[in-house]
Chains A and B, each alone.
Chain A
Amino acid sequence: MKQRLKRILLSWEAMLIVVFAIVCVAFNQQDASRQAAGLSKKDVFNLASVIKSMRPYMLYSFMTLGIALILAMGDIDISAGASAALSAAMLGILYKTMMDAGVPSGLSLALALVGCVATGTLCGAANGFLVIRFKELFPMIITLTTQLFFRGVAFLLLGGGTLTFKNDKTFDLLKTLYNTVTIGGISIPIVIIVFLAFAAVFYVWLHLTANGRRIFALGTNSKAAYLSGVRTDKIKFTMFTICGLLSSVTAVFFVGATSSSIRADSMVGYEMYAIAAAVLGGFSTSGGKGSIVGVVISLFLFGVIKIGLGTLYGFADSMVNMSVGVILILSTLLPNVAAQINAAGRVRKRRASSLV
């Protein structure tokens, strides 16, 4: 029992929560001192406002879940942003074509949404197929090239312009995805609610079922996993497909968030945000570890940091990006350094005891 408690307290998630708490306290302090100095009239850093301004930083949360799956296998997918852009393009194009053909608007939107998710899934499946069929090439290289290809197709569909649907009541339904619902006096964005539902499903699947554990087994040692009966190729293909599907979910929310304007060069760099969040959440590009709880905390942590640095300290976007970079590096550097110091201490102790 004591051992278990110790393990929980020393876990990566617990540390993330501690960091999260420290950040919140510091931001609160800054908020209070700004109010005392008369720089702002009311407190800007409170639960309600933070949750509401979290929305733009939750758009790539779905993609992050997908990337986390890929990282757990020890692979990487850098085409997620491009496949999301392609899915969004498909959503717009399908809707437009069907409206032009005289299909009822409700049916058009429903079919376009299906097409959007199917596109993302197909992109993921294409990645998965290439990864398992061409084992000489690394997932990084494959997704690097498919990324260019997917974005190229998006450019081909949209022709470099912006596709908008002005005053289209049916298409504007997507905008409601970016709204908030009031629960217990606090307005919570729909994005967060949907994401938490997704995360709960992924948590159960990844951590509590044999199926999910196989993914980690594959990431720890793929040969050993293969020899102990894990169908590695099938799992890889499925995971890349799911990652593509989740990218298209991000695309749907993105279209809602940007007032239904669709561009081929949207969501550039989203995959990097997603990788950063997944890595901070405890996943590693070398595979075999990580937890969904960590990913959820790290996504919120990134959101809070971005909001806080922006509104409380008046930092520009670039400074916020820089802090993301620093956090990313430190989050893997510090545990490594701690482990090295620990190991050196153990060696010293052993040497000292052997002298006696």
Chain B
Amino acid sequence: MTAQAPVKRKASSFAALLIQRREVLLLLVLVALLSAVSVRVRGYIPNNWLNILKGGSINMVMAAGMLPVLLIGSIDISVASTLALSGAVSGMLMRDGYIATVPGMILVGLGVGAVIGALNGSLMAWGRVLPIIVTLGMSYIARALIPMDWLLGLNKISRTNLTDSFKVFMLDNTFLRLPYLVWTAVIVTFVIGIFLRYTRVGRSIYAVGSNESAALVRGVSANRVKLLAHTICGATAGLAGILWLGYYNSVEKSTATGDEMYVIAACVLGGVSVTGGYGKISGVVIGAVLIAVINSAIPQLNIGNSMITEFIKGLLLLATILLNVILGWVMRKRELAQRSI
């Protein structure tokens, strides 16, 4: 009995690791997927790693912004519309010659996004409207502003409307072999991660998410935290609009329709709880990378027609999310069995 004890403790510590650190499991799924693809497509990782990172950057930026929103138990389904609006506004300003520089574009993008996010947040905090209603309505409104005659009246921003320096900036400029597009995602992720983990305000976001009334008693203004979380989310979505312009060089009113689902999926895959209070940036990163890998790998597998991609994407997401829960059950059961309960 005693001889077996260390082995048991080892097993239970691995189980505990899997329960406490959901991202470990996700990492295993990611490795499994990458190796499965590598077996079929020769040289998949060396040839594609940069494309995976580039393709996933926009989703990553938005997912990092979605994290604080999910942490307070709220949700934002207007991010894709915010992306389109911010891309349209900044693209038009560049087309008409008001801004020519990249920092200017980024500021406009962040600003447009932050305004929409702040509006979302205040309607929820002081208007007491449910998050899904506010952001559903806002997703209609933001997208509708783009083609409206008396406001933007935009049909399409295309390659010719953008200055050369902007077009070069995101993709062609590199630092340590990575384009600035990827670096933007890295910086945003780091800033939000450090903010959530090490600052007082960041911790109050977790506090509001795990127990709002307890946070109120403790002296945290839940309304202000809600406003802040949604402003961050809006700002990152606005920044994503600039990244979109930099990556695809075009924006129109239907840009990124439905992409909010992938943003939320990245967070959920990363183990972020939608009821709030639990979730880490590391998980979100792995979730976003996983989605980027799925997006890039499935078309290269050459299974049937290209439409099978959609099917496999859905299946993989569903399977990973369910696997996460089922493994949680198994681990918990094993732990209880080991304590002979």
Contacts and interface: CB of A to CB of B under 8 A. Distances in A.
A153 B311 CA distance: 5
Contact of B306 (A141, A160, A318): A160
B268 interface: yes
Contact of A146 (B147, B275, B308, B318): B318
Given A137-B321, A148-B317, A337-B127, A322 B144 contact: yes
A140 B268 CA distance: 11
A54 B118 CA distance: 36
A94 B49 CA distance: 42
B240 interface: no
A138 B146 contact: no
Contacts of A316: 147-149
A314 to B, nearest CB: 10
A150 interface: yes
B69 to A, nearest CB: 13
A324 interface: yes
B144 A138 contact: no
B160 interface: no
Contacts of A310: none
A264 B314 CA distance: 14
B144 A141 contact: no
Contact of B141 (A146, A284, A325): A325
A159 B148 CA distance: 35
B128 A336 contact: yes
Contacts of A285: 130, 132-133
A212 interface: no
Interface in A145-179: 145-153, 155-156, 158-160
Count chain A CB atoms within 10 A of each CB in B129, B265, B317 and give the residue with the most: B129
**Chain B, interface SS category:** helix
Contacts of B274: 138, 140-141
Contacts of B133: 279, 285, 328-329, 332
B264 A148 contact: no
Interface of B: 75, 123, 127-130, 132-134, 136-141, 143-149, 253, 257-258, 261, 264-265, 268, 274-275, 305-308, 310-315, 317-318, 321-322, 325, 328
Interface size range on A against B: 35 or more
Interface string A322-350: 10111011001100110010000000000
A155 B310 contact: yes
Contacts of B264: 141, 144
A328 B275 CA distance: 23
Nearest to B262: A148
Closest 6 CB pairs of A and B: A325-B140, A149-B314, A152-B311, A322-B144, A148-B314, A152-B314
B129 A155 contact: no
B265 A145 contact: yes
A321 B268 contact: no
A286 interface: yes
Given A149-B317, A268-B257, A332-B133, 20 more contacts: A130-B322, A137-B321, A137-B322, A141-B264, A147-B261, A149-B314, A152-B311, A159-B305, A160-B306, A268-B258, A272-B136, A275-B132, A325-B137, A325-B138, A325-B140, A329-B133, A329-B134, A332-B129, A333-B127, A336-B128
A152 B143 contact: no
Interface string A126-139: 00001000101110
A328 B136 contact: yes
Contact of A151 (B134, B143, B265, B314): B314
A73 interface: no
A142 to B, nearest CB: 8
A159 B307 contact: yes
A76 interface: yes
Given A146-B318, A148-B261, A152-B311, A321 B305 contact: no
A153 B257 CA distance: 20
Contact of A326 (B129, B141, B147, B148): B141
Contacts of B146: 318
A144 B130 contact: no
B311 to A, nearest CB: 3
A321 B142 CA distance: 10
A319 interface: yes
A276 interface: yes
A130 B319 CA distance: 12
Interface string A229-254: 00000000000000000000000000
Given A138-B274, A318-B144, A318-B148, A329 B129 contact: yes
Nearest to B261: A144
Contacts of B318: 145-146, 148-149
B269 to A, nearest CB: 10
Contacts of A272: 136, 139
A286 B307 contact: no
Nearest to B320: A145
Given A160-B307, A325-B137, A134 B322 contact: yes
A280 B277 CA distance: 30
Nearest to B81: A325
5 contacts: A140-B132, A148-B261, A272-B139, A285-B130, A319-B144
A84 to B, nearest CB: 16
Contacts of A136: 325, 328
Nearest to B142: A325
Interface string A184-223: 0000000000000000000000000000000000000000
